Amino acid sequence: MNAFKLVHAVINKSDQFQLEMSDLLSAMTLTVSSETADIVIDLKQIPAVTTNHDEQSLLEVIQTAQDSHIQNVILVNHQLLISLDRQLMSQELLTQAKTEEWDLQTSEQSLRFTVDMSSPNLGRTMTLTHLRSTTVGEALSLMIEAAGHKVYRLNHIGDWGMAFARLIVAVRRWGLPDDDNPNIGYSKLQHHFYEESEFNPELDIEAAVVFNQLTHKDPKVMAEWKQICEISRKRFDDVYDLMNVHFTSETGESAYTEAALEVKQQLVDSNITSKELDAIIVHFPEKEIPQALIQTGENDSLYLTRDLAAAIDRHEKFHADYNWYVVGNEQATHFIQLKRILEMLGYDWANTISHLGIGFNSYQGRRLINSSGELISVNGLFNKVARRIMETYQFSEEEALRYSLGTIIFESVKYPRLDHFDIDLSTIIANEQYNGFSLMYYVETFSLYGEPNLSVPQRLSKEQWELLHLILAYPQKLAQGLQSGEPSELASFAYEIYLKHKNLVSQENNHPSIDYIVIKTLKNLLYVLNIPVKDTIGRE
């Protein structure tokens, strides 16, 4: 049941008005309190309506359409106030919940998106920022699909650069890490390298030689590099499997080293670079953008230059309307430079690029380390939270892991992206709180009585209608979440529905048909956030 499409169709059926769905979407509110009306349309926000006469005609269009969903419509102070046939609307919400055909599209055309998400670095552990990029990126991808668009999920894996030369040297001296936790092992090796190189400058010299060999694709050194990458990669796949995240394309940065040289040449040829010693630099006309380093020595490539090559490749492959990068906000300048350089090269599609930044993330107030200062892997975090759930609620191991995943995923999407999020073991699994645990538990254990012959009550109480009325806003919440790139819009929407329903139940003012609509809608919202809720419908 999509009230936005309904109103849009009613108006556009006439020859007089052809409104854009996007205009209607921003002008139309399902009022918070349904006392005045069920739908308010602010006509000042609709470009096609400019005069009093237009306002009057629009009113008449809706009146003469005599759509059965619309009970009454009046014009007050440049606003259209629409009252709906509550029973009919509710009945249609019930049908939607039964058939699970969620009609959430509010866009006339289907658009194409790429979402750069996760993009961890091999040869070290996945950080909480990478984890949150994965969860936010996947939620956004599912939201894009739910809204009827096409998404390409892209993993731009960090597998190139000086860090790998250091790791190769470290592995030569101190051996490969053990199998249990290779990425923790690699991170320790990197750390060890830094400590040792303070006393032993030979290490840095050897790393520089290795990096040069890597740059020239020396087969023996490439084999050492490849081994490190493959071992490291497997662990990330375990995380993706657990979270049910599947990428359209996973390309290491190493795949762009040659294309990066071409981009460099293109920049030099367009006269937007300057050479300072061995370095090639772009100065921007805007003073506030810091100069960008394109190359430091012959034949090498830098993160930015590889990213420019990858962006061009992405555009050629996917021709997306939107290219999103869900990446830590400390890289804000990098993305400003990336976009501006593409503009300076004359790529008109540069405006499709948006950096959706991620704020600071912590575990118990710190980075992913335990109380004795040891690194924890993301898999380790899932297990830790699962263990805590098992102890607290006596869940089976399998159930605890599923709840752990759902809880961590929800926790990382429930705040606006740029806000700090902390995984606090004592609060994230507390029941009846604003967390993933409570929502999963609620939708999976709420007792629903029967399904087949449900129908909504003849007369809905005020509170009952207010809850269903809130659910009618789903397509708009989804559109707003996509507009701002914020899955948190849906997380807080789910929580609001949950609270209202709990309240209804405590007043014994619920009804099986309403329970059914609510639980199915909440489940759908959780699916769209990639929370692994069970398919089955409560206990009978």
Ligand X SMILES: NC(=[NH2+])NCCC[C@H](N)C(=O)O
The residues binding ligand X (CB under 6 A) are 116, 119, 121, 156, 158, 307, 310, 325, 327
Residue 403 corresponds to which tokens in the numbers above?
A: 């709840």
Min separation Cβ 301 and ligand X, Å:
13
Give pairs for 296-303: CB < 8 Å, separation 24+.
299/215, 299/216, 299/261, 300/211, 300/215, 301/160, 301/256, 301/257, 301/260, 301/261, 301/264, 302/260, 303/161, 303/253, 303/334
Strand partners, 275: 280
Min separation Cβ 314 and ligand X, Å:
9
If the CB atoms of residues 119 and 377 are measured against ligand X, the closer one turns out to be 119
If the CB atoms of residues 163 and 491 are measured against ligand X, the closer one turns out to be 163
Contact between residue 434 and residue 407 where contact means Cβ atoms under 8 Å apart: no
If the CB atoms of residues 264 and 339 are measured against ligand X, the closer one turns out to be 339
If the CB atoms of residues 92 and 116 are measured against ligand X, the closer one turns out to be 116
| 3-class DSSP state of 75 | strand
Looking at residue 232, the DSSP 8-state letter turns out to be: H
If the CB atoms of residues 158 and 185 are measured against ligand X, the closer one turns out to be 158
d(Cα 157, Cα 251) in Å, to the nearest integer?
A: 6
Look-up of token digits 């190769």: 168
Min separation Cβ 412 and ligand X, Å:
16
| Backbone torsions φ then ψ of 475, nearest 5 degrees | -60, -35
Contact between residue 154 and residue 247 where contact means Cβ atoms under 8 Å apart: yes
- Residue 298 vs residues 47, 94, 335, 341, 535: alpha-carbon distances, Å: 55, 66, 24, 21, 56
Min separation Cβ 43 and ligand X, Å:
43
Min separation Cβ 259 and ligand X, Å:
14
Min separation Cβ 42 and ligand X, Å:
39
Min separation Cβ 280 and ligand X, Å:
20
If the CB atoms of residues 96 and 119 are measured against ligand X, the closer one turns out to be 119
Interior/surface letters 354-393, b for 16+ CB within 10 angstroms, e for the rest = ebbbbbebebeeeebeeeeeebbbbbbbbbbbbebbbeee
If the CB atoms of residues 122 and 439 are measured against ligand X, the closer one turns out to be 122
Min separation Cβ 130 and ligand X, Å:
6
Amino acid at 437: F
If the CB atoms of residues 121 and 524 are measured against ligand X, the closer one turns out to be 121
If the CB atoms of residues 209 and 332 are measured against ligand X, the closer one turns out to be 332
If the CB atoms of residues 119 and 435 are measured against ligand X, the closer one turns out to be 119
d(Cα 336, Cα 288) in Å, to the nearest integer?
A: 10
Min separation Cβ 330 and ligand X, Å:
8
d(Cα 93, Cα 87) in Å, to the nearest integer?
A: 10
Q: Are strands 79-84 and 150-157 parallel, antiparallel or unpaired?
A: unpaired
If the CB atoms of residues 196 and 250 are measured against ligand X, the closer one turns out to be 250
The number of angstroms, rounded, from the C-alpha of 250 to the middle of its chain's C-alpha atoms is 17
Contact between residue 30 and residue 472 where contact means Cβ atoms under 8 Å apart: yes
Min separation Cβ 491 and ligand X, Å:
24
Q: State the DSSP string of 7-58.
A: HHHHHHTSSS----HHHHHHHEE--SSTTT-SEEEEGGG-TT--SHHHHHHH
If the CB atoms of residues 300 and 307 are measured against ligand X, the closer one turns out to be 307
Min separation Cβ 325 and ligand X, Å:
6
Min separation Cβ 22 and ligand X, Å:
29
Question: What distance separates the 2 farthest-apart alpha carbons in the chain?
Answer: 86
The conformational region for residue 89 under phi > 0 = left, psi -120 to 50 = alpha, else beta, is: alpha
Residue 83 corresponds to which tokens in the numbers above?
A: 């009252």
If the CB atoms of residues 307 and 444 are measured against ligand X, the closer one turns out to be 307
Min separation Cβ 191 and ligand X, Å:
17
